[in-house]
Chain A
């Protein structure tokens, strides 16, 4: 732990938040345009966050404060292990298992914080989110395992680097079924339609967010921003060949996010068990076929 690392982490945190919030603003713009509205300006999310932090907030108890702090910190730490450009990772190592499990601390903190508010709507949202996690983690894990079994390395930057040298080397070409599965799982991962059971505004009063106000809501916004950075970054590094510069990376991330927002706009919500069944049946079977073909028949991989 050196002072350079603290400065690095500070700078990177700023970067993650700016990228994530910009995406959120653009996402609202895209949705609006697809619905023939004008929509808010792209920087609206920044304004929202500033406003949230300036207001008086309502807290139920110390666990609520602690949970949300833990959540944002967990996701920032996760993002720090994400390779950004040319396999360069701020933290210096990027074991994929570390990324997948560190991300969980963000979810745990969020879940803990909102549960402590005592509102059943929040807890129902969390119960749905966790159930959905059961749906998307398994297909996603299978695809990652397929890649590891080909490459023999579970470091995300190695996976990104292995796709260098043109679009024909990208994993989106080499693992087409896997990409399809990951795209479905990704939709559930960032909680957009048809898998937005967790928020479900008209059903459970925005679920986890129901009790958040003031700076707590602001932290929740930032949480979503960093989460977007991590999850789109995961897709870019796994399938879109990583990136050689940071702006290429952000550009590719935006492509992933744009696709997801378009899907979000045109779909309706599943019921919760339908959603999981859909994830297991479609994403799961695509991923399983990909895994078996890659591991046992050596097809698609090269």
Chain B
């Protein structure tokens, strides 16, 4: 093997091995340092491999039963994902290093290192067999991390795992069908086979199986519940990774399989969009709207942001489903942006929880006066998430709208405007309830997050601003990746994005805003003297002093049920219905089991169940 091949292999195997080795070390802090260094080493390795097209293939020794060799290789799309996820992971790792101090340290560092390796493996896998192995490694390591030794968290993790397992089975079926028809596991060859297949029903069946698997991973409707449970219950410093990086695997899969196949073999079209993508678009739109509306009325801050992630996944899906180069670019760009801004948001919430231990928003308030760096990270994060210029989220959201305008998908665009306006509602609510308003007395002594955490947050702010002002940092590589994949390209420069119906110059927008700020600042400074109040509660209350009625800061903070006035308007939204659906399914299965059980129960029923299970599986295989 050449040196490049070793480097490539080390991207996948390195973190896994380091993770396993660090399991032997008893000290938690040492484990976190190893994790941090491993991630940075992986990042550096990936950077040196930039521009290379190396591939590596080998048979695992002692595993001669395996049907295929293990093979990894650098391909444009996968490597783009490797680079952006590792860049984001480096910031999260720096953040975790500060977060896991003596009081808060968890034992998830070795697992997380293995997860980073598996994640690279997913993006570098060249054949379905390898893909499946790393995919499963990713699933169980993330399950254990979400669990992190707490009963409640583990239940949430199991919920996530079962949903993703359901998807994985469908994916396995699709891989098996492909192997049967092509006699190879190679991803590129199977995709080409599908893109040139005559029988369209067959193509649709296979990509539907893949799509459902990826939808389960990316929490697209009807799988949208797991983030609210898993993101909220995961370790606080892991939530940025879970929400930023891991939810995107589904989109990588869609871009890897579904998009090239439908480019080569589009079949019937509605409004110029292949039917299956059109349906996916509507499903994604439902996801975006559901996520938004539920987020508006959620009080738990981590759950709120998890629902916001669901909504953003909906945006990405809607963009992807336009089936145009602009839409694919928008989806990729929003994927990268969401990674950073949602990472920043979760990181700042983790800092808040680190210092206060609270998750219910209405119990907080006024933290901006005590934690400025955290506040500004959160502020820039929500500005990006709401798609307001001049930050990164605006550029990708603008591209999503352009893609929809181009295909004249006006109804979808209306839905997206609805979701986007709603996003502003819940984001501002979180900003106010956690960071503004009254500072409760018991939080007077809260300090800013420790240095590594603050540093990581500052880096994320720079990333958001940088991509906001110079989207070319992302859009130019995206355009190259798309050209290499043969799915078209987009018309961009470092600071200009040309959409279908108009174009924007981000530097212009940013500098106009900057100059306007300068003018207003001058105006502010020439205005009269400012007298600064020291007491939060010293403000207008119609001549009464709230303290005389026994009202203190925490009660004077308008935070609980922020949008109560409009709650009656959203009664129609099924807030718990999907969970109920799963429960109903569970009950029905249980009843069926009891029925079988009641028919005939031989002695030693556990052993017999296993025998029956095996017989059933063999029968199933024969039928297939």
Is A bound to B?
yes
Q: How far is the CA of A53 from the CA of B388 in the complex (A)?
A: 29
Q: Are A118 and B537 in contact (CB under 8 A)?
A: yes
Q: Are B513 and A74 in contact (CB under 8 A)?
A: yes
What does the 1/0 interface line of B520-562 toward A look like (CB < 8 Å)?
Answer: 1101101111111100110111100000000000001110001
Q: How far is the CA of A102 from the CA of B429 in the complex (A)?
A: 19
Shortest distance from the beta carbon of B606 to any chain A beta carbon, whole Å:
56
Question: When A104-B388, A130-B428, A152-B501 are in contact, do A1 and B515 touch as well, CB less than 8 Å?
Answer: yes
Q: Report if A65 contacts B (CB, 8 A).
A: yes
Identify the closest chain A residue to B404 (Cβ). A145
Shortest distance from the beta carbon of B444 to any chain A beta carbon, whole Å:
14
Q: Are A69 and B422 in contact (CB under 8 A)?
A: no
Of the listed stretches B22-30, B208-216, B408-416, chain A binds B408-416
Q: Are B368 and A145 in contact (CB under 8 A)?
A: no
In the bound complex, residues from chain B placing their C-beta under 8 Å from that of A18 are none
Interface residues on B, range: 35 or more
Interface size of A by CB at 8 A reads 86
Q: Are B388 and A205 in contact (CB under 8 A)?
A: no
Identify the closest chain B residue to A75 (Cβ). B516
In the bound complex, residues from chain B placing their C-beta under 8 Å from that of A235 are none
Q: Report if B369 contacts A (CB, 8 A).
A: yes
Q: Report if B605 contacts A (CB, 8 A).
A: no
Identify the closest chain B residue to A154 (Cβ). B501
What does the 1/0 interface line of B492-520 toward A look like (CB < 8 Å)?
Answer: 00000001011111011101110111011
Q: Report if B6 contacts A (CB, 8 A).
A: no
A130 touches which of B387, B425, B501, B568 (Cβ 8 Å): B425
Q: Report if B43 contacts A (CB, 8 A).
A: no
In the bound complex, residues from chain A placing their C-beta under 8 Å from that of B530 are 56-59, 65, 214-215
Shortest distance from the beta carbon of A292 to any chain B beta carbon, whole Å:
8
Q: Are B503 and A63 in contact (CB under 8 A)?
A: no
Counting chain A CB atoms within 10 Å of each CB, the highest count among B402, B422, B513 belongs to B513
Q: Report if B40 contacts A (CB, 8 A).
A: no
Of the listed stretches B79-87, B150-158, B430-438, B458-466, chain A binds B430-438
Q: Report if B389 contacts A (CB, 8 A).
A: yes
Q: Report if A45 contacts B (CB, 8 A).
A: no
Q: Are A295 and B513 in contact (CB under 8 A)?
A: no
A5 touches which of B515, B541, B566 (Cβ 8 Å): B515
Q: Report if A44 contacts B (CB, 8 A).
A: no
Q: Are A120 and B558 in contact (CB under 8 A)?
A: yes
Main SS class of interface, B: helix
Q: Report if A95 contacts B (CB, 8 A).
A: yes
Shortest distance from the beta carbon of A215 to any chain B beta carbon, whole Å:
3
Q: How far is the CA of A101 from the CA of B424 in the complex (A)?
A: 11
Q: How far is the CA of A113 from the CA of B79 in the complex (A)?
A: 43
Q: Report if B304 contacts A (CB, 8 A).
A: no
Shortest distance from the beta carbon of A284 to any chain B beta carbon, whole Å:
10
Question: When A133-B421, A134-B566, A277-B569 are in contact, do A153 and B520 touch as well, CB less than 8 Å?
Answer: no
Q: Report if B405 contacts A (CB, 8 A).
A: yes
In the bound complex, residues from chain B placing their C-beta under 8 Å from that of A117 are 539
Across chains A and B, which 9 residue pairs bring their CB atoms closest together, nearest first?
A215-B527, A141-B417, A73-B516, A154-B501, A120-B558, A115-B436, A73-B517, A76-B516, A95-B502
Q: Tell me the A residues contacting B by CB distance below 8 Å.
A: 1, 5-6, 9-10, 13, 53-61, 63, 65, 68-70, 72-74, 76-77, 80-81, 91-98, 101-102, 104-105, 107-108, 111-112, 115-121, 123-124, 126-128, 130-131, 133-134, 137-138, 141-142, 145-146, 148-149, 152-155, 158, 205, 210-211, 214-215, 218-219, 222, 272-273, 276-277, 291, 295
| Subset of 8 A-B contacts with CB under 8 Å | A9-B516, A96-B502, A97-B401, A108-B388, A118-B438, A130-B429, A138-B421, A141-B414
